[in-house]
Structure 1
Amino acid sequence: MSQVLVLNSSLSGEASVSRLLVAETVSQLVARDPAAKLVFRDLAETEIPHLNPRTVAGVRATASTPAETKARALSDELIAELRAADTIVIGAPMYNFSIPSTLRTWFDHVLRAGETFSYSEAGPKGLLEGKRVIVVESRGGLYSEGPAQALDFQEPYLRQLLGFIGLTDVTFVQAEKIGYGPDARAAAIEGAKARLADLIARDLSQAA
């Protein structure tokens, strides 16, 4: 039985394009693998606390206080979910040309030396391999090409964070120009749904 970790980070609730497309992704995955186990993390509804001077040692050093121990326990829980997943689905809207702080905080807890990456004389090495990641990106403008491409700090940043812990089988599905009006929004959603359907069908045919 496969396991799917589903992360949502949009603050827009039912109006969120990334949430809609994450739900579509999960629906298609389950349709093809009804026995799949789903683990959901809504990073907007149940926020992961930002690390601060009272908690940071729980993730980046040795926990010795109650606050640090609590931070370590949450980091352990999030890493366990990530390690158990065969597929990770991430809903990542573009906020201020990058990612929501809620998603960044999740990464702060799961990028942990000795657990998800290691250091050696050869440099850092990701320890989470053999997993598939599908990232749904929603964007108000057009950033995949043209003049605004230089302002895209969302996709390169996510690719770097995921690759740093060994997650290199990553596919980005974009819904762009959703701020250009209802027609553009609808077209972006339908285009992303079609790309998701093709992606999942192709991956499954290759695995067969």
Structure 2
Amino acid sequence: MTRTLLLNSGPHGQASHGYQLAAEMLAELGLSQQQLVERDLLASPIPPIGRDYVLAVTSGASAEAPALAWSETLISELEASELLLIVTPMHNFAIPATLKLWLDHVIRIHRSFESTPEGKIGLIKDRPTLVLVSSGGFHTGPRARQEDFLTPYLRYALASIGIRNVHFVLLQGLVFGPDAVATAVDAARDVLRAQLEPFKRQAQGALTAAR
């Protein structure tokens, strides 16, 4: 069965359309409690990067240094996962501060990447990553009226640590009433279900083998 890390970075928490859809899809996989690590980045805030963290990183402190404890925890959770699912709103054209803070702790030199003359080389094993993006308006398609800095930034940031198998699933136009929400959720469900189908087949195969 697939070990999954679910990051929820929006202010609505478990009440958000994105989270509820993600939970619905993960329930179809039949994950046990041990196979799912869920981190609500707003309900359980990550501390901001401070001077102690910077000094530990720049001085080459060991991974056991207290200032790196949060970073180690978050990187270890990521390394232990086979599937990464990120639920995020689009805030002011980009990712919210909660998700940026997770990235700040996870993107760490000599731990999740190495710096070379050619640029950053990721040290984290690639894994399927699904990003469920909720937005009140539209940022792609014919109704788009705003720029999208979230997608290219998050794709680039994750690639810098080695995660390149990233797929974005969009929930757009959520401020245009219940019908618009239902349409967006249904479309996103179809895309998400298709992306998760290989994991569902894997889970079904494991159950069959266990009988």
TM-score band, normalised by the shorter chain? 0.7 to 0.9
1:11 aligns with 2:7: no
User: Identity of counterpart residues, as a percentage?
Assistant: 37
Superposition RMSD in Å: 2.6
Alignment CA distance shift 1:175-1:125 (3 Å): same
Task: Provide the rounded CA distance (Å) in 1 between the counterparts of 2:70 and 2:156.
Answer: 23
1:47 aligns with 2:45: yes
Aligned to 2:25, what secondary structure does the other structure show? helix
**TM-score scaled to structure 1, two decimals?**
0.86
Please state how far the C-alpha of 1:203 moved relative to its aligned partner. Answer: 6.2
Task: Provide the rounded CA distance (Å) in 2 between the counterparts of 1:72 and 1:9.
Answer: 22
1:193 aligns with 2:192: no
Structure-to-structure mapping, 1:62-73, within 5 angstroms: 62-63=60-61, 69-73=65-69
Provide structure 1 residue ranges, at least 5 long, that are not aligned to the other structure.
Answer: none
Structure-to-structure mapping, 1:93-108, within 5 angstroms: 93-108=89-104
1:152 aligns with 2:154: no
Question: 1:31-80 CA deviation, whole Å, 9 max, x = no partner?
Answer: 3x66971111110100001113344334554459xxx9433011011111
Verify the 8 A CA contact 2:84 2:130 in the aligned structure 1.
yes
Provide structure 2 residue ranges, at least 5 long, that are not aligned to the other structure.
Answer: 206-211
Verify the 8 A CA contact 1:4 1:36 in the aligned structure 2.
no
Letter in 1 for 2:19: R
1:135 aligns with 2:131: yes
Task: Provide the rounded CA distance (Å) in 1 between the counterparts of 2:19 and 2:194.
Answer: 19
Task: Provide the rounded CA distance (Å) in 2 between the counterparts of 1:48 and 1:130.
Answer: 24
Letter in 1 for 2:25: T
**TM-score scaled to structure 2, two decimals?**
0.85
| Number of the residue aligned with 1:57 | 55
Task: Provide the rounded CA distance (Å) in 1 between the counterparts of 2:142 and 2:126.
Answer: 34
Alignment CA distance shift 1:84-1:169 (3 Å): same
Please state how far the C-alpha of 1:97 moved relative to its aligned partner. Answer: 1.1
